[in-house]
Structure 1
């Protein structure tokens, strides 16, 4: 099967970045040390060139990921190799993913790219869970990551047909709470099984736009992808009857071209996702608190009891929910911790670099006649 690269998002700007003699392809799926890519002459399973492996060993963020545009090189033995990853326009990066083994040594992971070159980030939260405070906090976290990625977040309250109409809170009230947790972001109700809202979602993918769908297990991500594709392209499972939560159905990230135009990346359910260099994204999600902070008497107000604190005044008046302030504090602490860890790593890398240069200079001095 051949592919029209323009429908996959290929542009003249990307063509200008392609090394001479290379073949462009878009990464649809990654495995260990290899990737499935879509090229003009079809789909290929390609291994990584040595330069790509070395770059990934130095920084895991450089590892090819779903959505990347890659440069392929044809080998004499009759196969392609992934020779380079082209510069990313956007990158959805998470931190705090544990430790990685590089060269036999274990070290803190610097981050993991979940998807690249994404235009739209769909944050999926099922209607029967979105009333919980913890799930509103998850929406805030994922929207912060979406803003930081460079993509445009859109929150989808999925499985709207399963909303319990007997709850004290109305569905309109639920949507209002979600909108308050994601100010300035489009929020839509969707029932993929009924088809409600699917065409509206598809409208975000006109042309060759790429979207990634994020959310917890059981959020209906794969069902939504199937509805957008008008085909059973992803396996789905029912939520557990015991607790209403979902099982992990999607076990890998995959780029899926849609017949109607556009592309979508389905992702495994996310139980926990750490922030990575997310200060600006957090500020955008909590723009209401940032605006209040500008009215505080002191410019360095910590909103912890200082006189003239506009944030605490809004809390006392009920204009600012306590849950939202606590969520802001938590994400601010986490973003600051990740930034400090990144700074420490950069200092360590710089020290190692100068140690290596000094060692080489000393060696050269000893060998000088």
Structure 2
């Protein structure tokens, strides 16, 4: 469709060359391929961190970055900027030992991309890794929250504030370029609260959190801005998915997916303009093998093992905390939702890399769940 394409931030979609961003449709890339990397390096000035690794502990006395404040020990140890956690740029995979706070950098790279491509159509994917661990922030943002006594939470708040400012700079760049009205912006989180870090965050009034399919794990902020097409303050009550972003963007660009490519998501514009009340058949399926969950309307079934019968059944219209298991009372509903899962499995690819051994999660408002695979 003639769009310039840029991706800045966390890739997390494979390390092989054929999976590299510039080999997957992006003209520009600056970021890391792994699920996490350090927000700072040894030269970052004015940083506050919950922990340090051996590279930091062994820095020589003459190292100019002497003002790192360590507030505790964070499990697990923070990732290094080595191997898959390196910061790299472009198709040449040039390694950048970035000294600036990485959230600021991803924001600045995004703003620069907008300024360079404001005169023609572009697609920008800014995948901030904040506020993912390791918990590290500049003193500027740490000092914004002097009344927060919990050290980990204070750093976390600072990381979110830095993210908020970076997103603000991106929106400002669109305004300054005079293209905000005709630009579709989507902002969302990839999962709920990481409750396995004690005191970090809360999923109230819901249960679950990251790594679970309870509402605290899958119901996240999802914001869209397109002034020329969507009225400010519009709210969609129907469930939607990140899978809907691609078909919505294609429709906004006046194009469509190739005829031989069947997309899982749906164009959200009928919901946004009020001409529809739901997308597709209204069913949603999640899987992190062997766990699988399905939602149809207000009913949701969570199966700790997709290959075992039964599971936990909840009515979200009356039980958003998912505290009352209705599986024993409504076996027909369980059977219908299990059939929906099997229908979904019949048209999707089974995971080639499956999880083995015992798995246990300690999550908000739910007793620890464990199962053997």
What TM-score do you get using the length of structure 1 for normalisation?
0.26
What TM-score do you get using the length of structure 2 for normalisation?
0.26
Higher relative contact order (CA 8 A, sep 6+): 1
Q: 1 or 2, which has the higher helix percentage?
A: 1
